[in-house]
Chains A and B, each alone.
Chain A
Amino acid sequence: MDVMPKWADVVLVPLISLLLAFAISALVILGIGKDPVEAVKLMVTGAFGSTYGWGYTLFYATNFIFTGLAFAVASHASLFNIGSEGQATLGGLGVALVCLALPWPHWALALPAAMIGGALFGAAWAFLPAWLQAKRGSHIVITTIMFNFIGAAVLNYMLVNVLRPEGSQDPASANFPPGTNLPTLHEILGVFGIPFSKAAPVNVSFLIALLACVLVWLLIWRTRFGFELRAFGKSESAAVYAGISPARIIIVAMLISGGLSGLMAINNVMGEAERLVLNSVEGAGFIGIAVALMGRNHPVGVALAALLFGFLYQGGAELALWMSIPRELIVVIQGLVILFTGALDNMVRMPIEKLFLAMRRSAKAGE
């Protein structure tokens, strides 16, 4: 018998966890001698007060939607894919190789090709950990962590030894040809006559991220494969009984997860930097974990949580600029959010469950 109504489980518990994380974040801000109220005001105006702020918020959110979905898909198969960072790194490499391969005439041609490149490289980076888990029982958490480091080394090698233009000291690729430059939200909304900040990097990838949410939702809850994936995630022994191949689910789920991580590169590499640089992922792979946890592994939740983290990132940048609070404050908040919504979930859940139980008892007694 369920103790709590579903809304309490899906909305109330994460909300209280989030508030706790924010409350402690406020204490941290107080601790370094700043005013949390002022900080929040600055963050909100910085992130949502202008189309420029929105533009950055949505740009960050786009990254987090991709990595959040990636973690969520793997989670439904009970796989803890901590390797999104490495998969997104390799995705960047894939996107860069595609963009630099041809003098692309138009972004509409370059984008699908880059998406395939990014997704393929990301998926490829997830394949070996997946295969090792499926066939040799190697713990996927450890292998994906290892692949993050190996991926960083691969990128480093590629940038220093292969992609770096001659004469450049900078470990970065050449700029992508203009035909690969993606339309920004400014240009897209401009078609409809809606004004939007020209400087903000949010671009067409945001729409693709939203589309990815819909597709992932369909995949998980409406297709046979999604059914089998969830069944495997809930009970491997039952899946085997039903004739669902664990190896197939593990490998395909991780390929999808890695592919989604790799897709992120169309936003940060192709959409913003327009060249490949070191550490272009900037931790977005790990934030995906927080986003998926907050969003309860549901695409709608992931999109909302990604927006929240986009806000934290953009707001945090404003804090660094105007209140000289280091950007690392966001990293702290991020850690607190993961801690409270993920690891300390039961701390919030257990008292609430008791509360509902007591309410039900008294309701029964009152009858």
Chain B
Amino acid sequence: MDFSTLIQILDSTLRMATPLLLACLAGLFSERSGIFDIGLEAKMLISAFFSAAVAYETGSVWLGLLAGIGSSLVFAAIHGVASITFRGNQLISGVALNFLAAGMTVLIAQNWFQQGGRTPSLMGGARFEPLTLPFADSLAAVPIFGPLYAELLSGHSILVYVALLAVPASWWVLFRTRFGLRLRAVGENPAAVDTAGVSVVALRYSAVAIAGLLCGIAGAYMSTGLGAGFVKDMTAGRGYIALAALIFAKWRPWYALSACLLFGLLQALALRTDVVARIFPFEMPVQLLDSLPYILTVVILAGFVGKAIPPRAGGTPYVKER
């Protein structure tokens, strides 16, 4: 494999990893606060639709992004009401939201655009354009570093950089702020937070809202950055891969970055069967490549590669004990 193919693959990896990373960090905040979220998929999907639809109607991708985030927050709020206020089963709530998003997006898309559950293709200002990083053109000629900078790092839409910056930001919030301390505590032992005079409900709602925000960005990126419009079921299980990456990352932001880059690489490779054929000495079925993230996660869960210990209070609604 030559250098330029490598750059292409890595470039594609970065783009594929972006929605995974945002969704993974979303899950990280939610689960660190003790709320399981298998509805990441739902929030990404609903946001993908609304950001594309609004971007198309208004011609502004930024309004689209806002709409996407808004719709994702609504879904997050439903999850919050079900699992925090009414102490329902968080898994069931997530399953329900996944259905709701899968159905609603197509239903509304068909009603608005009559194109078989998709939005019209986005053009111009309705899409996120690639950004050229400073000096990218002048540095491109420098060997090795030049192409790495100009072709791999530069030339992505702004949301890619937002996702990358979200990693240190998440780390800082979780481990360097009062909010982060309380958030981590509420996922471990909500009673400790409650008796310390801090509201468990408010903390968990904020975590769920952050998850909504991040998933909203992830969904918007899918339809207005990575793609050019909404297509039925376009998230295609990325919410679950993000969940897998979260376990892989052991609920830590920096590990999340590496896990998502790894899974992004697998997705990028699956798109380049020609490269795959050259890398592997045997015939690598593309289906195996597709399912590698899932297989790797199972291996991690099995504890053969270090133990993944989830937040202790995860999945259980907080009820004051009698």
Residues of A within 8 A of B (CB): 28, 31-33, 80, 82, 128, 132, 136-139, 141-143, 145-147, 149-150, 153-154, 156-157, 160-161, 286, 289, 293, 325-326, 328-336, 338-339, 342-347, 350
Contacts and interface: CB of A to CB of B under 8 A. Distances in A.
B110 to A, nearest CB: 5
Interface stretch (B207-215, B254-262, B292-300): B292-300
Contacts of B290: 149, 153
B103 A346 contact: no
B107 A328 contact: yes
A157 B288 CA distance: 9
Contacts of A153: 287-288, 290-291
**Chain B binding surface, main DSSP class:** helix
Nearest to B93: A343
A185 B272 CA distance: 49
Contacts of B244: 142, 146
Residue among B87, B90, B103 with max Cβ neighbours from chain A (10 Å):
B103
Contact of A339 (B100, B297, B302): B100
Contacts of A328: 102-104, 106-107, 110, 117
A146 B302 contact: no
In which size bucket is the chain B interface? 35 or more
14 contacts: A139-B310, A141-B38, A142-B244, A146-B240, A146-B244, A146-B301, A150-B294, A156-B287, A328-B103, A331-B106, A335-B99, A335-B100, A335-B101, A346-B87
Interface string B116-146: 0100000000000000000000000000000
A142 to B, nearest CB: 6
B91 A334 contact: no
B78 interface: yes
Contacts of B100: 331-332, 335-336, 339
B295 A139 contact: no
A331 B99 contact: yes
Interface string B275-314: 0000000000101101100110110011100000010000
A137 B308 CA distance: 10
Residue among A32, A156, A328, A334 with max Cβ neighbours from chain B (10 Å):
A328
A64 B228 CA distance: 37
B285 A335 contact: no
**Chain A binding surface, main DSSP class:** helix
Given A153-B288, A154-B287, A345-B88, A332 B103 contact: yes
Cβ-closest 7 pairs across A and B: A335-B99, A331-B103, A332-B103, A335-B100, A343-B93, A342-B92, A339-B96
B97 interface: yes
B297 A146 contact: yes
A142 B98 contact: no
A338 B87 contact: no
B206 interface: no
A124 B99 CA distance: 27
Residue among A142, A150, A325, A332 with max Cβ neighbours from chain B (10 Å):
A142
Residue among B90, B92, B106, B117 with max Cβ neighbours from chain A (10 Å):
B92
B12 interface: no
A326 B232 CA distance: 12
Contacts of B88: 342-347
Contacts of A156: 287
